[in-house]
Amino acid sequence: MTQSQRDDAPLAPSLPRTLRSARIAVTAAYAAQGLGYAVIVTSLPALKARQEVGDDVVTILVLGVALTAALGSVIANAVAVRWGSRTALALGLIVQAIALPVIALPTEFPVFAGAFAVFGIGLGCVDAAAAMQGVAVQRAYGRHLLGGFFAAATAAAIAGALLVSGVALSAVGAGVALTCAAVIALAAALAGVRFFAREVPIDEVLPKAERAKLPRAGIWAFGLVILAVFVADSAVSTWSTVYLQDDLAALAWIAPLGYAVYQAVVLLTRLATDRLVPRLGRGRLVAIAASVSAVGCVIIALLPFPVAAIIGFALAGVSAGVLIPVTFGAAGELAPEHSDQVIARVNLFNYAGAILGAVVVGLLAEGPGLGIAFLLPAVALAAILFAVPRFRAMPTRAVAGVAPATSDDPSSR
């Protein structure tokens, strides 16, 4: 049997085209998600000027998006249990496609703020449902694919930032970019209705008494890993440019490079993750990624020089690049019959981490300083090492159905 035959065998061997179509459709959903969020955050200066509001209001809006995204993840779980994750993913994309044009239009502030809240619901719904679909397709293929899916989101986020740059930082230009993102989200949803992976909803598979029997210890372990990663990700995303420009007096063109190299490393490591998991094993790869990124945050905190900080930001990108797809993949295999429910719950930790990274690091900046504040994500990332045994207990090869536990040490295979 050839490699391609093995890849397609787990899900309907007579319909390999259906499996490939599902993979393409899920990749498009990840790309639409990355593009939409990037367009939103990079358009904030222009939108702030149009609405004539200050940074404090923008901060509240961003916090509101994180909170409503958590609600969106809960909605994704409810929809997936009843109608399947493909329905939840299409719904989240459609909600975003509705909210983005409203944000783009010159409306009264209450309508503008409401559209942001609705966008957050769509964002959280897609976050959770895309991971559900990604795990389903990965399981069907019998090999790791989540790194590639998340890489598509990162690449699209870079494209979204360039799109906003290309149409200029103005309210009209931002509206054009937001409308483009809405059209792409809607197209991904409509294509997904036909091509997303088809699963039998949990309501149809398990009796009601069985639906609540979730692997709660595993959910908390993997959820706290996701929380730690997003503490670091949010800290770098929110404060890297500010730290380089205001605290380290870097030149204006150098200051954005911290975030640029961070995103570049995230993209490169996500592209490599699917190949690294079977070679190194989940546990070893998680330990390496967490350690490298923790060291990067320590460098940022203790070496107050622009070059050192940029190197630190680059190293910090390894955690988001590797740990997010690996952790969601492992979470989806905790209890395959409850995969959607588990992923929705693990995804909730995403937003808690994002808020902690942005808010707590900012508060620490007012005291000991912004550089030292990066010891917070360093400690959070180092704490991931306590969860490594959980990853070692998981199989390193994604398989169809329930996979038997295997050793995480490649030398034992």
First to last CA, the chain: 21
Q: What amino acid occupies position 67? A: L
Q: What does the DSSP 8-state code read for residue 407?
A: -
Residue 3 has pLDDT above 90, yes or no: no
* Confidence label for 281 from pLDDT (cuts 50, 70 and 90): very high
Model pTM score:
0.84
Query: Dihedral through CA 158, CA 159, CA 160, CA 165, nearest 10?
Result: 90
Rounded Cα distance between 227 and 23, Å, is 27
> DSSP readout, 14-37?
T-HHHHHHHHHHHHHHHHHHHHHH
Rounded Cα distance between 34 and 67, Å, is 18
Q: Hey, what CATH class is 214-393 in?
A: mainly alpha
Phi-psi sector, 303: left (phi>0), alpha (psi -120 to 50), beta: beta
* Confidence label for 392 from pLDDT (cuts 50, 70 and 90): confident
To the nearest whole number, what is the mean pLDDT of the chain?
86
Percent of the chain with pLDDT over 70: 88
Which strand (E) or helix (H) includes residue 41?
helix 16-42
- 147 touches 271 (CB < 8 A): yes
Count other Cβ atoms within 10 Å, centred on residue 409: 13
- Average pLDDT on 316-331 reads 95
More confident residue, 54 or 12: 54
pLDDT at 245: 83
pLDDT at 410: 39
* Confidence label for 150 from pLDDT (cuts 50, 70 and 90): very high
Count other Cβ atoms within 10 Å, centred on residue 413: 11
85-110 per-position pLDDT tens digit: 999 999 999 999 999 999 988 889 99
More confident residue, 310 or 2: 310
Residue 237 has pLDDT above 90, yes or no: no
Domains of the chain, residue spans: 16-197, 214-393
Residue 6 has pLDDT above 60, yes or no: no
> Does the structural domain 16-197 have CATH classification 1.10.10.10?
no
- Average pLDDT on 351-363 reads 87
Lowest mean pLDDT among 17-31, 50-64, 298-312: 50-64
Residues in the chain: 413
Percent of the chain with pLDDT over 90: 57
User: Which residues, other chains included, contact 107 with Cβ-Cβ below 8 Å and sequence gap of 6+?
Assistant: 115
- 282 touches 407 (CB < 8 A): no
SS3 393: coil
Burial class of 372 by CB neighbour count within 10 A (0 to 12, 13 to 18, 19+):
middle
Exposure b/e, 125-153, CB count within 10 A at least 16 = b? bbbbbbbbbbbbbbbbbbbbbbbbbbbbb
More confident residue, 62 or 294: 294
Q: What does the DSSP 8-state code read for residue 333?
A: T
Decide if 16-197 and 214-393 have a common fold: yes
Q: What does the DSSP 8-state code read for residue 367?
A: T
Rounded Cα distance between 358 and 197, Å, is 35
- Average pLDDT on 291-314 reads 95
Structure tokens at 150: 């998340």
pLDDT at 383: 97
- 270 touches 318 (CB < 8 A): no
What are the phi and psi torsion angles at 108 (to 5°)?
-65, 155
pLDDT at 411: 35
Rounded Cα distance between 330 and 373, Å, is 30
Structure tokens at 48: 């702030």
- 373 touches 234 (CB < 8 A): no
35-55 per-position pLDDT tens digit: 998 888 878 778 888 888 877
Count other Cβ atoms within 10 Å, centred on residue 389: 11
- 120 touches 34 (CB < 8 A): no
